[in-house]
Amino acid sequence: MGVLGCADIAVRRILPAIVEHPSVRLVAVASRDGARSARLAARFGCAAVTGYRALLDRDDIDAVYVPLPPGMHHEWVAEALTAGKHVLVEKPLSTTYEQSAELVATAGRLGLALTENFMFLHHSQHAAVRDLAREEIGELRVFSSSFGVPPPDPSSFRHDARLGGGALLDVGVYPLRAAQLQLDGELDVLGACLRVDEATGVDVAGSALLSTATGVTAQLDFGFQHSYRSAYALWGSRGRISVPRAFTPPREHRPVVRLEQQDRTTELTLAADHQVGNALDAFAAAALSDTGRTALGEALLRQALLVEQVRKAARIVSL
């Protein structure tokens, strides 16, 4: 496996997991800055490559991980697929539905795995919560989710519209994906609001209201002008379950979920899990077998469409 870029998430979370997990083998890391790739290669025990194209030209690499800014995803995911590589790309897959549809079609035509790196989907707490909800809270009425973080460094790509910056693409995609995970059926966007920083032209916070065909609503909030919050809740006819560490739990963390029912509150401690390693294992399985790739492509398109619909439905508030 090769890595296109030396982003912080690659250095902190993905590269250590690749080195540790037997389902994948780290071959090379590429950067436009040769000295930077050399430092990372020495740290993680792989080859250093200068330039992304040079890494894609290697015949000892079957798959690549792409942690580049979102505005660069379409170009380099397309290049990687054309070079015959399976692709694990950081969320979002691209900045528009049209671009995402093109990439999904390319991967399907070439018989390659294409996966968006929502690592939280691979943590066992979410299946446990879904099972608990079926047993304890009755008919589901409302799903709510928030993902907010403190302001990023001013030099971050998150403040650059040309690089695909903005809160919707950076953190808003998580509550959207979680709603699809826990709600049955298709979701429609009923309304949204995006707060846009006039100085940078990117959205820094937002909210969205979605609904299933049966009227179960999803109330979502996100941004990077906030104290840290990474949570969701399922509210039903007989109770409510809240998940306070939904998206980024450390591997050693044992999640505690809260079940609230009439005159009773119960806290349940679940097993720790390594969602980063699990995500790599799932990607390796998709690359080694074409089973399930159609479903992966459909999930990518549903996510991209919802992001586009939120953007189109949003009331823009300038700051």
Cis peptide before 70 (omega within 30 of 0): no
On whether the CB atoms of residues 55 and 36 are closer than 8 A, the answer is: no
Instruction: Give the active site residue among 74, 91, 274, 311.
Output: 91
Pairing of strands 256-261, 203-212: unpaired
Distance CA 26, CA 251 (A): 21
On whether the CB atoms of residues 253 and 272 are closer than 8 A, the answer is: yes
Q: 215: Cβ–Cβ under 8 A, 6 or more apart, which residues?
A: none
Q: Which of 12, 150, 189, 157 is nearest to 73 (CA)?
A: 157
Environment class of residue 31 by beta-carbon count within 10 Å: exposed (0-12), middle (13-18) or buried (19+)?
buried
* Cβ neighbours around 83 below 10 Å, total: 18
Distance CA 318, CA 315 (A): 10
Distance CA 98, CA 312 (A): 14
Helices and strands: H and E segment counts in the chain: 11, 15
Is 91 an active-site residue?
A: yes
**What's the one-letter identity of residue 161?**
A
Give catalytic residue positions.
91
